[in-house]
């Protein structure tokens, strides 16, 4: 072979090798990237070429698929009671993608999950169309309904948990939205989406998981836990060293109590919780110091950026750097302390579960189209938040608060209830209407089947003198607890 021909042969061989390498790169290394690329319309078209699997609540689907005419997409997603369940399901849209359970389980629901390989192979040989799997949730439909209806047109959130397992029984956020109205790709869907984006009340924000708020006096549960765990006090019924009025350290500012007639001077931890005495819990926090307070808060889940339900909640924060006055304010759930409603119910559930915090979750099982389970969730301990002895003492305090103090709106006849209210101040000189909180648990002979946290933002729709955790949020927590207790019978 002469030299020019040899050079051409070598060059041609290199070109062929380069083509093979590129084909390998595209076909294997970058296959998934290209398949899922936002500009790949063929993948989108295939995803909506058949009915999607369903999200299940109480044994029944709360999602579905309907045929679409005059579109490249054969099917689109529909949601039953969409606004009520949107914080759980998220949305599935031909145009705007997926969120929450719809996103996290997209491959299973669309039928492309590797765990469906055997089913898909059989279907291929039998000529059956590909089918997605189902996501079975832990949501109690009656508790969810009570939470959503209780919130009504208010801005707020409700989360209910089964303390012994971590099952999320209710997850509501209002105002809400219907994911069905923008599930397609028409102009009407685009108009619905744009309208939601412009809504100043932010209906698409999941307030239960994705927003943090000052927890107010509900945080006094953690302050009490810190006082007991670190040996500041041991008897919840003994007097504390708590002047009233009490001036915060390094300041000339008095930390006021909500009621000037409440018996807060040197009140016991128990009495101080019943009347929500700021002087007692603010001083406890200042005396313990920021490090001991933060250590206790973190055992309940604060400062953990990876709380997955499986939808990830934003991080609840107990600040690492605070001066002494800020530490005092943190003990009553103010200063820079911020928490999701999920975090606050986790705190409540840990106390109800004798100090053990279970990891919250809302997917019980995923299954194939043939209803055979593919994966089942096993309850998991997240932390030992406090000792059983400390938890029992705080239960005593919360139950006395429900029976004799500010938690009375949560009482249920014939049932032991523990409760705590919270009113969280906001803005400079409290210029913004305060948040209303209520936490509670119901207890039966075999333990506590439910713990609840309710948060309401009254905006400017309610006179300030009518804003209270017990008045606004307490009745909702009671209805959610009653719904769970009824379903247990």
pLDDT tens digit sequence for 144-186: 999 999 999 999 999 999 999 999 999 999 999 999 999 999 9
pLDDT digits (tens, 9 = 90+) for 186-224: 999 999 999 999 999 999 999 999 999 999 999 999 999
pLDDT digits (tens, 9 = 90+) for 67-90: 988 777 889 999 999 999 999 999
pLDDT digits (tens, 9 = 90+) for 369-401: 888 899 999 999 999 999 999 999 999 999 999
The CB density around residue 426, as the number of other CB atoms within 10 Å, is 15
Of the candidates 125, 121, 106, 118, the residue with the CA atom closest to the CA atom of residue 46: 106
- Per-domain residue ranges for the chain? 216-364+383-488
Q: What CA–CA distance (Å, rounded) separates 454 from 150?
A: 10
Percentage of the chain surpassing pLDDT 90?
77
Q: What CA–CA distance (Å, rounded) separates 197 from 205?
A: 10
Asked if 384 and 299 count as a contact pair (C-beta separation under 8 A), the reply is: yes
- Cα 138 from chain centroid (whole Å): 13
The model's pTM is: 0.90
Q: 220 burial class (0-12, 13-18, 19+ CB within 10 angstroms)?
A: buried
Asked if 434 and 421 count as a contact pair (C-beta separation under 8 A), the reply is: no
Which sequence positions are flagged as catalytic?
A: 217
Mean pLDDT across the chain, nearest whole number?
A: 92
Q: What does CATH list as the number for 216-364+383-488?
A: 3.40.710.10
- Whether 447 has a pLDDT exceeding 90, the answer reads no
Q: Quick one: pLDDT band at residue 121, thresholds 50, 70, 90?
A: low
Q: What is the pLDDT of residue 307?
A: 97
- Whether 124 has a pLDDT exceeding 60, the answer reads no
Q: What is the dihedral of CA 106, 109, 112, 113, to 10 degrees?
A: 80
């Amino acid at each position: 072979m002469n030299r020019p021909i040899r050079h051409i042969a070598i060059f041609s061989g290199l070109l062929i090798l380069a083509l093979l390498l590129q084909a390998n790169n595209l076909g294997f290394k970058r296959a998934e990237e290209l398949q899922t690329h936002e500009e790949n319309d063929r993948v989108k078209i295939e995803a909506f070429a058949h009915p999607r699997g369903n999200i299940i609540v109480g044994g029944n689907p709360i999602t579905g698929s309907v045929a679409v005419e005059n579109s490249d997409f054969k099917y689109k997603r529909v949601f039953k009671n969409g606004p009520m369940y949107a914080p759980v399901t998220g949305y599935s849209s031909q145009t705007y993608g997926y969120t929450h359970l719809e996103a996290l389980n997209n491959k299973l629901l669309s039928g492309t999950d590797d765990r469906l390989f055997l089913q898909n192979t059989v279907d291929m040989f039998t000529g059956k169309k590909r089918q997605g799997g189902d996501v079975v949730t832990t949501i109690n439909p009656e508790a969810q309904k009570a939470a959503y209806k209780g919130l009504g047109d208010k801005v707020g959130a409700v989360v209910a948990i089964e303390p012994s397992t971590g099952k999320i029984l209710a997850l509501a956020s209002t105002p809400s939205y219907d994911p069905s109205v923008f599930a397609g790709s028409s102009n009407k869907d685009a108009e619905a989406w744009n309208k939601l984006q412009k809504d100043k009340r932010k209906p698409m924000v999941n307030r239960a998981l994705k927003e943090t708020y000052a927890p107010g006096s509900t945080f006094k549960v953690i302050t009490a836990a810190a006082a007991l765990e670190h040996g500041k006090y041991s008897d919840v019924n003994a007097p504390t060293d708590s002047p009233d009025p009490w001036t915060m350290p390094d300041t000339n500012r008095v930390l006021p109590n909500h009621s000037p007639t409440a018996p807060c001077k040197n009140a016991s931890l128990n009495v101080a919780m019943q009347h929500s005495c700021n002087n007692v819990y603010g001083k406890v926090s200042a005396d313990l110091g920021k490090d001991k307070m933060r250590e206790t808060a973190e055992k309940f889940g604060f400062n953990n950026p990876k709380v997955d339900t499986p939808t990830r909640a934003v991080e609840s924060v107990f600040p690492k750097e605070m001066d002494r006055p800020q530490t005092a304010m943190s003990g009553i759930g103010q200063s820079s302390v911020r928490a999701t409603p999920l975090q606050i119910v986790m705190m409540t559930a840990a106390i109800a579960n004798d100090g053990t915090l279970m990891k919250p979750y809302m997917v019980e099982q995923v299954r194939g189209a043939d209803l055979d389970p593919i994966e089942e969730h096993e309850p998991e301990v997240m932390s030992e938040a406090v000792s059983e002895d400390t938890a029992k003492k705080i239960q005593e305090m919360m139950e006395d608060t429900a029976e004799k103090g500010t938690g009375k709106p949560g009482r249920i006849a014939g049932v032991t209830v523990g409760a705590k209210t919270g009113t969280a101040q906001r803005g400079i000189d409290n210029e913004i209407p305060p948040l209303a909180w209520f936490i509670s648990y119901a207890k039966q002979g075999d333990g506590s089947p439910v713990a609840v946290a309710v948060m309401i933002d009254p905006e400017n729709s309610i006179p300030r003198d009518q804003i209270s955790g017990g008045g606004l949020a307490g009745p909702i927590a009671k209805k959610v607890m009653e719904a769970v207790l009824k379903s247990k019978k």
